[in-house]
Chain A
Amino acid sequence: MKQFQYMRPTKQKAATDAVAKDPTALFIAGGTNLIDLMKREVMQPEKLVDINMLPLKKIEQRNGSVRIGALVSNSAVAEDRLIVEKFPLLSQALVSGASAQLRNMATVGGNMMQRTRCYYFYDTALPCNKREPGSGCGAIEGINDQHAIFGFSENCIAVNPSDMSVALAALDATVLLSGPKGERRIPFIDFHRLPGDQPEVDTNLMRGELIVAVDVPESPYAQNAHYLKVRERASFAFALVSVAAALDIQNNTIQSARLAMGGVAHKPWRLFDAEKALAGKPVSEESFWQAAEVAMRGAKAFEHNAFKLKLAPNSIVQALKTAAGIA
């Protein structure tokens, strides 16, 4: 690991200025992702700007939404009374991630910014366009069992590993950013990027910009929501495929649906067309299969991840059935 400088500002401005001015500087929150990557020499910041002294640790009820500070720990969000009541999907997604110890350290902002778990990204001896632009994608013809079936490019087929982000994408959250040029808001689903020809850029965050909070709008989905995470061991593993499913059901008819997948793309994969296909349909396994079929349009597999073409639709149906209470 490379040695680095460390600072712990108490003012937000000082933090964003420090990172804006120094292209080798990075924020550090819980450190559960960044430190690991530094140890593997995948990321080599020369300065760490520790943001833990900033006052971003609150969850507040606002008019029509709940605001979650960027430094609230993953476990605090998952256990929060408001969240459990209004957004069980988010709570479930968080609890399904990592381990209790990690969730205690990990923060909302850090979780959104966590980097891919692609094998090739993690090993500096192997090619990876995300780590080292121009070096090639090791996964495309390599071991790609964990990789994308949607939205990939010839430069990168990595997937975003976050569970929390899949739920937030489904719930139409908004991200609050603050940077040297002031504050701005972007829809959560526009926060992460597809790889295109710049796979080294994971998100639309600009240098020096800090995630301040996430706003989650009130919605009618609390009753019928389920986060399904599929993995070969019972816990403490990233998703092979995950599904965030939320339904507004009245008189056994789906009024509207929210659906997103994890483990299938470079960003949380919101399934707008499938949501549309569900709206107005009766609650039935058949409706869910139709939606799954729509959801899978355009999916394409590589040598080792073809199983996802079957696992993904199966998981969508399973998640919807569970959300609807007919599993």
Chain B
Amino acid sequence: MTKERMTQVKMGDPLSRVESLLKVTGGAKYAAEYNLPNEAIGVLATSTIARGRIKNIDTREAERAPGVVAVVTHENAPEIPGYSASVDNEGSRVYGQEFRLFFDGTIYHNYQPIALVIADTFARADQAATLLKVTYEEESHDTDVRNSLDKAFKPERHDDYSRGEAGAYKSAPVKIEQEYQTPIQVHNPMEPHVTTAVWEGDNKVTVYNKTQATKISQKEIAKSFELDEENVRAYSPFVGGAFGSSSRVWPQEMAAIMGAKVTGRPVQVVLKRNQVFNMVGYRPRSVQKFSIGATTDGTLTGITHDAYGSTSQYEQFTERLLDPTKTMYSCPNLDSRYKLVRLDMSTPCWTRGPGETSGSFALESAMDELAYALNMDPLALRLKNYAEKDPENDKPWSSNYLMECYEQGAERFGWSKRNPEPRSMREGDWLIGMGMASGIYKAARDRAVVRAKLSPDGSLLVQSAVADTGPGSATIFTQIAADVMGTAIENTRFEWGDSTLPYAPGQFGSHTTASVGSAVYEVCTALKQRLQQLATGTASAAMQQAGPDELVFENGTMGLKDRSASLSYGEILKQQNLPQLEVIKESEGGPLLDEYSSKSFCANFVEVRVHAATGEVRINKVVSAVDAGKIMNYKTAESQVYGSVVWGIGIALMEEGKIDHRFGRHVNNDLEKYHVPISADVPEVDVILINKPDPVVDPMGAKGIGEIPLIGFTAAVANAVYHATGKRIRELPITPAKLV
């Protein structure tokens, strides 16, 4: 529909989110809010042991409870054809046997779903779930990475990496050999995991879930239930945060679909907060032995990095703990290994800045320790070892403005005023410290397909299955389309979050803008070419002959640059009697991508204060300077940096999934006990966006921004705490208990 106001926007403009009005008025429907006719509610009962078997599960009382429609357990669950199929390690994103819901009585972890109680209301289902009587055959379990480092193994999908000589740091005149640890962190999005499923007949299912990837949901569900992909619809336009935790299909989806099958009714399943801690992924604990050596002028000569993560008994989850170490600095000798410990826990899952966030804590803390050992400024040490090309593969950077990040960040922060002496700055009872760290994160691009439809009234609809879990992707895609097509923002609509729309990769790995944005860009470019071909009549002859540089597309019209001729898009369609003009475009990075190494970069500068008596740490100031290529939308980009900084503060100072290993069970699994930062923990964050386009990754020049500011951030805090107190904390989080 053509509207009153006609606003032309450009990529980069600080446009507010296109869905913001819906979100603030409650008009945005989340997966638990569909209230389908005849919908029943399922509540998952979960295991209270970490390992063993269900001996008996007595459901009789629960079945008799008021309102109960069905109780599904491994004894009566419908057969899931995909569960008995051989394990598909080629196609699956995590190596191993996926978790099979209600498959048999084996218990792999605490909080494993053991029954789904379905009733007409939540309260009744929840009450009936308390009436289940379960007995177990318990086996001894292990949930502690530390206990089992000697049993760690090299994962199938990981190659150790080395260059030059192994252990070269040992002969360096100045060296650091330390161990760093990061605890379990849980994504804890505000919206818990939820699915509403409804079958139409035996072969067709619609799933209202929260997902970062409708196409992955569709594919995984189709595979499990042996359905045609087009008969599975994953619908997820609004997601209340995910951070990696909704990047695969989890038990609540399978339970809702199974429950809907068993009852013949739409079934909704929402996880409880405590269930979210050990069922739908988390960032695994890491133990990292990190050694680094340099000559007395600060030139790095060797790095050895041994990292340990953990996984479940049934899958091998791997993450990129070693990546920053491999690529951040020029260093001729490097050897690194990554091993996993099998635990009686659910499988971990990618968590914002997966791997790099934990890995960079070790790397960037060790760099700071090395700087002190060298009696050198920590920033100067980093400048000294700046990598002119990617040291991992010797490829040139597609773009690299890390130096600008250092310079502008240091300038804005006032780094030069820092007295390097630990414990040298004080305000009353508070010790003041300043720390910094660098960050690097891949700037990837994946295949995506986008459809564009132009209507005779001049309005443009652009469609992709991509999710927007909150960062503002839908806004940016609307913006790209409006900019490339020259349609007013009010006339441009982007549709997303539905697996029936054209293919998009998952919204994770900071590659959504590069992947789907490129497809939007290209489909609109193709649409313009179609318009040029279609235009007829006297006014158009000149336009048809015109080269791409002589044509302008703006205000919904195509015209010659010299303004001697123009036609509105609507007129072109009307000339051809077209009810609609539709173009679909598949887009993928070209071979050039392989010739370069593409990364986003950042430098974080943090000032902390540490109370001399109580050891409380508060963040005074953050300057985050980020090279994420061309900034597509200043507002949403800054918000991504704020989000990363808030995450970084949480991971540095408070987040920790605590497990009592005697029981193999989380003990702080609610938001009162598992702390994330509140507003008062977050100071003003000064964001510097270098905003220089990358010439290789995608036609817009954008690189990813959702994760890069988090990489190294926790080390910047730890380094600042060291500067404030003289105490080096090598195990996160940095709590008063460790500092007092």
Contacts and interface: CB of A to CB of B under 8 A. Distances in A.
A230 B736 contact: yes
Interface in A141-184: 141-143, 145
A248 B643 CA distance: 47
B733 interface: yes
Given A142-B662, A307-B740, A318 B673 contact: no
A310 interface: yes
B680 A235 contact: yes
Contact of B675 (A122, A228, A233, A317): A233
A156 to B, nearest CB: 16
Contact of B736 (A125, A138, A235, A311): A311
B613 A318 contact: yes
B82 interface: no
Nearest to B127: A3
A162 B694 CA distance: 55
Interface in A233-250: 233-238, 240
Given A3-B123, A123-B665, A143-B667, A233 B130 contact: no
Contacts of A122: 670, 673
A311 B615 contact: yes
Contacts of B668: 119
A125 B613 contact: no
B613 A315 contact: yes
Contacts of B658: 119, 143
Contacts of B736: 230-232, 240, 307, 311
A117 interface: yes
Interface in B696-740: 733, 735-738, 740
Nearest to B46: A125
Given A1-B126, A145-B737, A233-B675, A126 B665 contact: yes
Given A123-B665, A237-B675, A327-B428, A142 B660 contact: yes
B663 A234 contact: no
A125 B614 contact: no
Interface in A122-146: 122-123, 125-126, 138, 141-143, 145
Interface residues of A, number: 36
Nearest to B663: A126
A231 B616 contact: yes
B677 interface: yes
A85 interface: no
A295 to B, nearest CB: 15
B618 interface: yes
A314 B613 contact: yes
A317 B613 contact: yes
B639 interface: no
A172 B738 CA distance: 35
Given A125-B665, A232-B653, A234-B681, A1 B123 contact: yes
Interface in A102-120: 117, 119-120
Interface in A1-19: 1-3
B48 interface: yes
Nearest to A44: B130
Contact of B618 (A123, A145, A234, A317): A234
Given A123-B667, A143-B667, A232 B740 contact: no
Most buried by A among B126, B617, B672, B675: B672
Contacts of A238: 672
Interface in B245-280: 274
Nearest to B65: A3
A286 interface: no
B185 to A, nearest CB: 15
B638 to A, nearest CB: 23
B616 A314 contact: no
Interface string A38-74: 0011000000000000000000000000000000000
Given A233-B678, A307-B740, A120 B667 contact: yes
B126 A233 contact: no
A138 B654 contact: no
Most buried by B among A40, A231, A236, A238: A236
Contact of A232 (B130, B667, B672, B735): B735
B429 A318 contact: yes
Contacts of B737: 145, 240, 307, 311
Contacts of B126: 1
A95 B653 CA distance: 23
Contacts of A228: 614
A216 to B, nearest CB: 28
Lowest 3 CB-CB distances: which A-B pairs, in order?
A119-B667, A125-B48, A234-B680
29 contacts: A1-B126, A2-B130, A3-B127, A41-B130, A119-B660, A120-B667, A122-B673, A123-B665, A125-B48, A125-B665, A126-B663, A138-B663, A142-B660, A142-B667, A143-B658, A143-B660, A232-B653, A232-B735, A233-B677, A233-B678, A235-B681, A307-B740, A311-B736, A311-B740, A314-B740, A315-B613, A315-B614, A318-B429, A318-B613
Interface of B: 48, 110, 123-124, 126-127, 130, 274, 428-429, 611, 613-618, 653-654, 658, 660, 662-663, 665, 667-668, 670, 672-673, 675, 677-678, 680-681, 733, 735-738, 740
